[in-house]
Each structure stands twice: as structure tokens, then as C-alpha cells.
Amino acid sequence: MALTYNLKYKKQNFFHKILLEKEGEMIIDRHSFRLKGKGANDQGEIIFFSDIRELQTVGTDEFRFTTYKKERYILSGFSNLFESFLKDFFRVRNEFLAEQLFMKVGMLYKEYEGQVEIENRFDQIVPKGKCRIQFYEGSIVVVPETHECFAVYYNFLKSHEFDEDEYVFHLYLDNGTNIHISKLGTYFEDAQETMEMLLGKMYERIINLVREILPEIPATDLLKLTYIIRDGKAVSLSAVKKINDDLPSKLEKLAFAGNPVMDEKVKVLRNLADDDRNFSIGFSFYVKPDKREVAAKSWFCLAMPAKNIVAIGMTSNPADTTVCFFRIMIEEGDSEEKLAEMLNGINQSMYLLKYDLSAFYRDKRELQKGKFRTAFRRLAYLRMLHTSYLGRHYGPDMEHFKKELNVVFKRASLMMRQVSNQPPQAGQV
């Protein structure tokens, strides 16, 4: 059922020129809302949640937002219903975002209420106020009352802590962000049990799958390997070697044994790389529904900071011969410093896109009609990769691959000095 609020609203262009000013109502629906003036003949205009770019609350009775069409709106005149409007607006929009940004991973187990604040990697505290904290099988979705929702995927959770002295639940993420949840009240212990149970289930599932496909790995090494690869994260071979000297070769064999073309391409790239520590392999293990056999999706990521390049490709299917290239820096700077942030963004992107690299080289119009349209607009790491995309090479012709690498390296070097938001056309680089 739609929600309706009486209000006044202004519409401006990018230069703050007022295009219209009306008194009327706002009708909120599941995926959009309508702003219309008084009178039966005024049809108003529909604004989709996916088209909203930025939101801002000003004072106690003004709400502003901009769209991707460079339009600005100012809503006011809510009387004493402004707080009620904010809660309803964000509740409906957050439900939309949670679905469109694929925050809900698996089944919902428990939901709690608490106070949440985010501590970013620059030690800045961003309060989110009262929130609903939803525990799913593969993620925690935090839904604030008057802010945008966000998700914490267990796959990118470095560690967590339940402070029983202060009754605060701490989440420490791979990207350097910390999330602090307090005022869980009498549900503090229940939330702790839920968290431990869900993490235990995730690790148990992955351990059983890895043991099935790599039965020769000792139990201790299996536990360590499961912790670092989790559900598809790419990890460097140098990190794997710290577990066991023989483990990197086993993982390479698993990743490339059925794909000789990609194996050759990766060998060429690794010979040109400055440091093999920047070569990573990721695995996502699953059970085939028809044969009940355990299989693995595998992919590689090779960073070449001196060339300002990151190369990514799927390896598990013999038909996978596409290598995608991304530049690390799009402006002057130190690519080594940017590398850690980019690799974290690559891992998150691959996890969200289910290891489908085609989203980066599809036609822009096709992408805007697809299911990842909102994700590419809202998620910083997807936008970063899309902007950094240089091109791709596919097919088994190794001589052509070697020649075209020089073109890629030259293009990446030029991009350091001239930023372009237009990625190359789909096709071979």
C-alpha cells in the first residue's frame, strides 16, 4: 500500500535555477515515488529510487536529493510529520536497496535493534543511530531508521569481538572499516550465539567442500586454507606457501589443469611481472545439483604495479580464455599505494557479480537495463573497476596476445596522465 504525505517541493536544474515550485503531495511506492501538485489534472512526475544520487536532511523540515539526470529537489512543508516521513521513506528505500545491491545472502536467521556507528579507515566516526541488524546466512544487513542501509559480508570480515564489559559488538572488515553495534539490550548474548553459529556454518560448509575436492591436504593446513580463501576470495600464492610449501602447486593445478590456454596466458603475464607475490588465485566451491559432485569456480588476479595494470580471468572452464585488464591509477600517483584498495575492490566485485566479468565490457546501454544497474551506480568498488577498465583479450592465439600486451601497457601509461571515463569498446584490445 502506497504512503502519502502532503508537502511543498521545488525542482531545480544543475545550476540551481528553479524549474517548478508546487504545493501538493508525495506518494511513496515500492520502487519509486510520485511528486504531484494539487488538482486532479496534475499528474506530477515519478522518481525511481535507482535514479537518486545523493540525499540530505536540512534542519527539521527540509529534505533534499539529486538525481543522475542532474536535477535537484527540495521537499519541505511536512508540518509535524517530518520525522515520520523520514522513517517511512528510508524504510521503503532501504528495502529496495537491500534487494538491488544483493545485500541479503541466504536465509534470514535473526533480527535485533541497536545503535550503530561506523569507524572508517581514516578514524572518522559516522553515527547511524538506531538500526535494525539482520543476520542472514552470508551477510549482516544494517538498516538505519533515517540513513541508507549497508551490508557486512562474512567473506570480507577480518575479525569480530563481543565486548562483554561494554556490551558492544565490534566488526573489523578487510578494507579497514570498523563497525560498532551497541544497545542490543537483553539480546546481546543471543546475538553473540547467532553470530558464532552462522560463522561456524560457513566455515563447516567450505571445509567439507575443500576436503572433498582436495582430500590429500592435512587437517591443520585445510583449516588455515579455508580461513583465507573463504567463499571465493583471491589469495596470493606467497600467503598460501606460508601454510605449506607444496600447497601453491596443488592450487595452481586445480585452477589451470583443465584450461591450457589460460595457463599459457598467465605464464606470459607472470614472466613480465615484477613480483610474483602479486599473483593470486580464488576458488568458490559448490555442489553440482545434477551430479551431486563438488566443483570449483576458479579465477586469477595478477597485479603489475610498474605497468599500472591488473589482469583478471576465469580459469575453471576450458572455454574461459578472456583476460580483462584494469589500470591501477587513473591519475598521477603511486600505484603500489593504491594496489591494496583495488585488490579488495576486485574481490568484492567478483563475489557480488558471481565471477561474471562480462559486466565490465558489456555495452553501456545493455548494462543499464540489467540487474546490476543500481549496483554499478551505488557501489564505489564497482564504479572504480568500471572506470579503470582498459579492455580484454580472448581466444587461443598466443602470438597475438603477446603483441597486444604492449598496447595495453602503453594505454595504461597514457591513462595515468589523461583520465577517460569511456572504456574501450568490447572486443580484443
**In-domain check, residue 92:** no
Q: Is 77 left (phi over 0), alpha (psi -120 to 50) or beta?
A: left
The string of DSSP codes covering 93-162 is HHHHHHHHTT---S-EEEEEEEEEEEE-TTS-EEEEEEEEEEEESSEEEEEESSS--EEEEGGGEEEEEE
Are 371 and 248 part of one and the same domain? Answer: yes
Are 179 and 246 part of one and the same domain? Answer: no
**Rounded to the nearest 5°, which phi and psi values hold at 176?**
95, -5
Are 259 and 407 part of one and the same domain? Answer: yes
Sign of CA dihedral 342, 347, 348, 350: positive
What is the rounded end-to-end Cα distance, in angstroms, of the chain? 51
Q: Is the pTM of this model over 0.75?
A: yes
**In-domain check, residue 182:** yes
pLDDT value at position 108? 97
Cell 555442489, residue located: 287
Amino acid identity of residue 41, one-letter, is N
pLDDT value at position 231? 85
**In-domain check, residue 87:** no
Are 305 and 186 part of one and the same domain? Answer: no
**In-domain check, residue 425:** no
Are 326 and 188 part of one and the same domain? Answer: no
Q: Specify the CATH number for the domain of residue 7.
A: 2.30.29.30
pLDDT value at position 53? 94
Are 34 and 173 part of one and the same domain? Answer: no
**In-domain check, residue 318:** yes
Low-confidence ranges of the chain (pLDDT < 50): 419-429
**In-domain check, residue 338:** yes
**In-domain check, residue 424:** no
Are 231 and 344 part of one and the same domain? Answer: yes
Taking CA atoms, 341 is separated from 139, 228, 284, 328, in Å, by 21, 17, 22, 10
Choose the final residue of a domain: 202, 228, 251.
202
Are 259 and 341 part of one and the same domain? Answer: yes
CB 237 within 8 A of CB 276: yes
Choose the final residue of a domain: 147, 172, 202.
202
**In-domain check, residue 359:** yes
pLDDT value at position 216? 92
Report how many domains make up the chain. 3
Are 365 and 335 part of one and the same domain? Answer: yes
Are 405 and 303 part of one and the same domain? Answer: yes
Amino acid identity of residue 47, one-letter, is I
Are 277 and 163 part of one and the same domain? Answer: no
Q: Which ranges of 236-325 would DSSP assign to H, the alpha helix?
A: 237-241, 247-256, 260-272
Q: With b meaning 16 or more CB within 10 Å and e meaning fewer, what string describes 59-95? A: eebebbbbeeeebbbbbbebeeebeebbeebbbbbbe
Q: Which ranges of 311-397 would DSSP assign to H, the alpha helix?
A: 335-352, 358-361, 364-369, 373-378, 380-388
Choose the final residue of a domain: 44, 79, 114.
79
pLDDT digits (tens, 9 = 90+) for 193-242: 999 999 999 999 999 999 999 999 999 999 999 999 988 899 999 999 99
- Residue 349: domain span: 215-415
CB 296 within 8 A of CB 280: no
Are 400 and 290 part of one and the same domain? Answer: yes
Q: Give dist(CA 353, CA 62) in Å, integer.
A: 37
